[in-house]
């Protein structure tokens, strides 16, 4: 089972009700309960929050140990040379796009929808990765020109 949505709450009583969970195509939702230092899963099939097995729970005072799984069709990764963002009051959407060189075509490779908090965490993580990259390989030049104007339908 691959959780689609991850959140953190203070106590078990703060776990969202099924009607408050975002509409997502995933099989389950995961929540870290800080007071207990435990991870709970809400399975759409079971219809209730349950703690994950003890061997997968974080050690007291430690970080949650989550074993990441990648669908075989995604293991090779995808290349995107353009990203577009959209937002509402509750979500930030990022479309990763492959703009086909010398052709007026583009393909959305992936669409990620996150809460504003998780988007800000992503921004911070990306800034850290770029800083680490530049310290190892040198500054990434943005060039002197601005990107060309485009109309995307």
pLDDT of residue 46: 76
Per-residue pLDDT reduced to its tens digit, 67-82: 677 788 888 889 999 9
Q: Which range marks the domain in which residue 109 is found?
A: 76-137
What's the whole-number average pLDDT of the chain? 80
Looking at the domain assignment, is residue 64 inside a domain? no
Tokens of residue 77, six digits: 């990764």
d(CA 80, CA 110): 9
Is residue 27 within 8 Å of residue 1, measured between CB atoms?
Answer: yes
Give 15 or 62, the one with higher predicted confidence.
Answer: 15
Do 85 and 47 lie in one domain? The reply is: no
Looking at the domain assignment, is residue 65 inside a domain? no
Q: In the predicted model, is pLDDT for residue 88 greater than 90?
A: yes
Looking at the domain assignment, is residue 86 inside a domain? yes
Spatial CB neighbours of 21, under 8 Å, sequence gap ≥ 6: 5, 29, 42
Do 52 and 83 lie in one domain? The reply is: no
How far, CA to CA in Å, does 99 sit from each of 48, 81, 103, 113, 153? 42, 6, 8, 20, 13
Looking at the domain assignment, is residue 107 inside a domain? yes
Q: In the predicted model, is pLDDT for residue 84 greater than 80?
A: yes
Do 12 and 52 lie in one domain? The reply is: yes
Looking at the domain assignment, is residue 97 inside a domain? yes
Structural domains in the chain (count): 2
pLDDT of residue 5: 61
d(CA 101, CA 124): 30
SS3 7: strand
Region 34-57 average pLDDT = 76
**Paired residues of 132 in beta bridges:** none
Region 27-31 average pLDDT = 71
Looking only at the bridges linking them, the beta strands covering 28-33 and 3-9 are parallel
Per-residue pLDDT reduced to its tens digit, 51-63: 877 776 666 665 6
Looking only at the bridges linking them, the beta strands covering 92-99 and 38-43 are unpaired
């Amino acid at each position: 089972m691959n959780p689609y949505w991850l959140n953190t709450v203070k106590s078990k009583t703060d776990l969202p009700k099924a009607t408050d969970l975002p509409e997502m195509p995933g099989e389950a939702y995961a929540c870290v309960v800080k007071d207990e230092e435990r991870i709970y899963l809400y399975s759409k099939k079971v219809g209730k929050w349950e703690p994950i097995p003890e061997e997968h729970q974080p050690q007291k005072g430690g970080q949650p140990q989550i074993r990441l799984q990648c669908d075989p069709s995604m293991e090779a990764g995808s290349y995107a040379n353009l990203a577009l963002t959209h937002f509402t009051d509750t979500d930030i959407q990022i479309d990763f796009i492959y703009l086909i060189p010398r052709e007026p075509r583009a393909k959305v490779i992936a669409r990620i929808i996150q809460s504003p908090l998780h988007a800000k965490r992503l921004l911070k993580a990306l800034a850290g990765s770029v800083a680490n990259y530049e310290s190892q390989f040198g500054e990434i030049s943005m060039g002197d020109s601005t990107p060309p104007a485009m109309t995307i339908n």
